């Protein structure tokens, strides 16, 4: 009996992932993981290979809506690859809007100091430190599971330049930073989410009260004492929340402007002390 090729198996797997916005990409990433090669190598040299034995189990788990990043143990973000897994918010490409906004703000100079509040697996902090090799930073995270991943990622991406602490936003931080980053929870508690998010990713990293604004209200008064002279705070938002979050920050002395993500939706507020 002829062996089933990678090419054929990818087509069958993608057909099972109809719930995903990227079914073919999902299948390719899982196949590359099962083969132990990059996706590029898969597409260039492995399409006629036999299907590796671990692929079928990965397809079943993805068909049950488990995030691809949890299955492969990694997610690319900005210029880095991050180790991720259960208990950690999966980095999204939309969040790269915060790094783009920071690059635009600082221009040719680099922020000497960076803080990422709610760093998760180190997403924004390590992207910033990879962007500016001369910078150093601090990541704050409540979740012990997320901090474990952040430590793994920091040791590889920015050894010696990233300090990580467990904490509740900036409650225990007494310092000022050139760049303050945050991707707080901003989903309203009754908002419907895809199964792969609602049933797998940590709720404490997603939900923020009846209107999704609870964490902005907690963060705003802390941000005012964190931003150094000439510095900036950049905070991720849900795409419908630009006016509401800007109003919260304005009430704490910030001038604000919204920046858009790759889908041309408002995705972050850039806040500078007024």
pLDDT tens for 58-108 read 999 999 999 999 999 999 999 999 999 999 999 999 999 999 999 999 999
Residues 26 and 154 in one domain: no
pLDDT at 118 over 70: yes
| Confidence at residue 123, expressed as pLDDT on a 0 to 100 scale | 98
In a domain, 47, yes or no: yes
Triad 265, 28, 80: Cα angle to 5°: 55
In a domain, 220, yes or no: yes
Q: What's the DSSP call for residue 2?
A: P
Note down the domain range covering 27. Answer: 6-64
Q: Give the chain's mean pLDDT.
A: 96
The domain that holds 246 is classified in CATH as 3.40.50.150
Residues 39 and 116 in one domain: no
| Confidence at residue 1, expressed as pLDDT on a 0 to 100 scale | 39
- Residue found under tokens 């008064």: 221
How many alpha carbons lie under 13 Å from residue 29 in its C-beta half-sphere? Answer: 17
pTM: 0.94
| Confidence at residue 2, expressed as pLDDT on a 0 to 100 scale | 55
% of the chain exceeding 90 in pLDDT: 97
In a domain, 56, yes or no: yes
In a domain, 72, yes or no: no
Residues 214 and 258 in one domain: yes
Structural domain ending residue among the three candidates 64, 87, 113: 64
List, for residues 139-177, the tens digit of each pLDDT value: 999 999 999 999 999 999 999 999 999 999 998 899 999
By three-state DSSP, how is residue 122 classified?
coil
The domain that holds 43 is classified in CATH as 1.10.8
In a domain, 99, yes or no: yes
């Amino acid at each position: 009996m002829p062996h089933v090729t990678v090419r054929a198996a990818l087509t069958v797997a993608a057909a099972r992932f109809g719930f995903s916005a990227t079914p073919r990409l999902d299948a390719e990433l899982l196949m590359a993981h099962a083969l132990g090669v990059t996706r590029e190598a898969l597409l260039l040299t492995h399409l006629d290979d036999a299907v590796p034995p671990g692929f079928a189990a990965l397809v079943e788990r993805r068909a049950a809506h488990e995030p691809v990043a949890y299955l492969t143990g990694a997610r690319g973000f900005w210029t880095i690859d991050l180790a991720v897994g259960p208990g950690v918010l999966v980095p999204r490409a939309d969040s790269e809007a915060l790094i783009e906004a920071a690059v635009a703000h600082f221009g040719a100079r680099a922020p000497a100091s960076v803080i990422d509040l709610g760093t998760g697996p180190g997403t924004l902090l390590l992207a910033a430190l990879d962007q500016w090799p001369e910078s150093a930073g601090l990541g704050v995270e409540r979740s012990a599971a997320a901090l474990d991943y952040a430590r793994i990622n920091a040791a590889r991406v920015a050894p010696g330049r990233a300090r990580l602490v467990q904490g509740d936003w900036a409650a225990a931080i007494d310092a000022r930073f050139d760049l303050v980053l945050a991707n707080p929870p901003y989903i309203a508690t009754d908002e419907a989410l895809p199964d792969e998010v609602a049933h797998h990713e940590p709720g404490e990293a997603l939900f923020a009260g009846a209107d999704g604004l609870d964490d902005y209200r907690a963060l705003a008064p802390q941000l005012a004492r964190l931003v150094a002279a000439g510095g900036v705070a950049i905070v991720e938002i849900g795409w419908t929340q630009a006016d509401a979050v800007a109003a919260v920050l304005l009430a704490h002395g910030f001038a604000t402007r919204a920046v858009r993500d790759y889908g041309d939706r408002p995705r972050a507020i850039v806040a500078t002390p007024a």
